[in-house]
Amino acid sequence: MMSNCQVIYWLVLASACLINANSVADRSDADDEGVDEIIGGTTVARGQHQYMAYLRSFYASWPPGSYGGCGGTVITNRYILTAAHCVQDHKTGEIANKVEVRLKVYTIRPMDSGAKLITVTGSDIKPHPLFYRNGVPNSIYDIALIKLTADLPTSDYYLIGNLYMPGVDQTYVTAVGWGYTSSTGPGSSTLKQVSFRIGTNDECKNFWGVRYNHEFQLCGVVPGKSVCSGDSGGPIVRYSSAYQTYSQVGISSFVPTSNGQAACEMGYAVFTRPSAHLGWINANSCGEGGFCPPLLYA
């Protein structure tokens, strides 16, 4: 059972996520392969994980120029999949009034010159309606869709990733994102990845207790190999050697804390299972300007 110090730490919408858009760190050796990134991982080669989207969410009540940075995945020609807490403030329930979606991104500081910017507003920002109710966030519904303003051109269909069905257990997966490289930062300028094992129900329950629901969530169980702040909404993926492709099995949701601070190095990050929400995903994407998400069963 988790101790009192091991409580949910939402990966982005904590106070540390308020980033001044006019104050960014200089990029140094971000293109170097093999440097320590994410938590215990490596920088990816340019051209890998092209389904990744980089998101900046803006809120009417936040200070001007501040945003929450998240990851997401392209799942159809019209929709991005991410975490609900990336587009809805888990403290107030406020839904973002604008999300900047950037595709074809490798570096974010400075922003990749080849990035494609799509700005989404209003009802096209769709957190799961059960994520925030009666003033309380419910982590098993930490999932959201973002509807792009127009269909992706067919020339960009290579960006579309697969969802994995059914949910995957007790196997190694790879997390991808631009988040913190330690619990106290800094964030990575360049896309990074790390692999770790998914835990059993007993392993995850023993750590998280009632905060964990294996039907709707997964957790990683390798200390020193994890996601951290800024990786929220991004995927964990499984590689199929038979199909030579990645498919998404989880969405980065939250990590443990120690003494009120993120403790990403502990491992045991929790991920939302897209497979548990396939009905909601299809009901809010198929036939609404996009085709249904491609699934992989291998």
- The burial of 158, by beta-carbon neighbours within 10 Å (0-12 exposed, 13-18 middle, 19 or more buried), is given as exposed
Q: How would you classify the pairing of strands 144-147 and 98-103?
A: unpaired
Marked catalytic residue, from 139, 188, 189, 232: 232
* Tokens found for residue 266: 């502990």
Answer yes or no: are the C-beta atoms of 231 and 177 closer than 8 Å: yes
**For the residues of 159-216, what is the DSSP string, one character each?**
GPPEEESS---SSEEEEEES-BSSTT--B-SB-EEEEEEBPPHHHHHHHHGGG--TTT
Marked catalytic residue, from 49, 85, 128, 277: 85
Distance of CA 233 to the CA centre of its chain: 2
Distance (Å) of CA 36 to CA 17, 44, 253, 277: 22, 11, 22, 33
Residues 6+ apart with CB under 8 A from 112: 102, 104, 105, 106
Greatest alpha-carbon span in the chain: 51
Side-chain-side CA neighbours of residue 93 (13 Å): 10
Q: Compute how many other C-beta atoms are within 10 angstroms of the C-beta atom of residue 239.
A: 14
* Residue among 95, 115, 136, 124 at smallest CA distance from 8: 136
**128 noted as active-site residue:** no
**232 noted as active-site residue:** yes
**85 noted as active-site residue:** yes
Residue 164, beta-bridge partner list: 296
Residue 163, beta-bridge partner list: 248, 295
Marked catalytic residue, from 89, 90, 112, 142: 142
What secondary structure letter does DSSP report for 37? B
Residues acting as catalytic residues: 85, 142, 232
